[in-house]
Amino acid sequence: MTQPLRDEHGTEIVYLRFGLGWDPARRKLWGKTSEIDLNIAAMLYSDTDLIDVVYHEQMLSTDTSVRLHGDNLTGEGPGDDEIITVDLSRVQPAVTAIVFVVTCYTGQPLARVENAFCRMVNSATATELTRYDIATVSGTGFIMGGLFRPTGTWEFREINQGIAAKHPVEATTEIPNHL
């Protein structure tokens, strides 16, 4: 599914928020609670070349248009536990795609993570544009979708695919299939 980035009035959406949320681990494994650490990442491409990544080890893109606002290690807290914001007006012209990936750093299958979701929100209006229940995904990673500008105008393209990845670098082999 591809959707143009316009609000209900036809105005182009420029500021987006990508949120990731999950509940902390409550199950005990051999008498010990196993923490769950999910991460959201934005991978910036120029055609099929990966040119920048925003994730828990690099929280700001080179052009400062994409920013991760903290790394939650447990899922504690209500709502979005990790947030990436994107200012499309500041993305460098060489970037043709920004793909959003969720990975489980601690290695649990996403299907075992309680109430796990990711979503895209119009930051100007706080309107949720798309949402995925990733607690039903097989694999330790998930490619949500991406922002693409094939003709100079940004659009969102759903990918919605489970993958085997505990770290964003492990997802890089799967993403080119969707560019």
CATH at residue 159: 2.60.60.30
Average pLDDT over residues 53-78: 89
Q: Pick the residue with more confidence: 9 or 155?
A: 155
Threshold 0.85, pTM exceeds: yes
pLDDT above 80 for 46:
yes
Quick one: pLDDT band at residue 11, thresholds 50, 70, 90? Answer: confident
pLDDT of residue 98: 98
Structurally, the chain folds into a number of domains equal to: 1
Neighbouring residues of 59: CB distance < 8 A, sequence distance ≥ 6: 67, 68, 69, 70, 71
Average pLDDT, the chain: 90
Residue 15 lies in a domain: yes
- Whether 72 maps to a domain, the answer reads yes
Pairwise CA distance, residues 17 & 19, whole Å: 6
On the 0-12 / 13-18 / 19+ scale of CB atoms within 10 A, 121 is buried
pLDDT, mean of residues 12-38: 80
- Domain of residue 64, residue span: 2-174
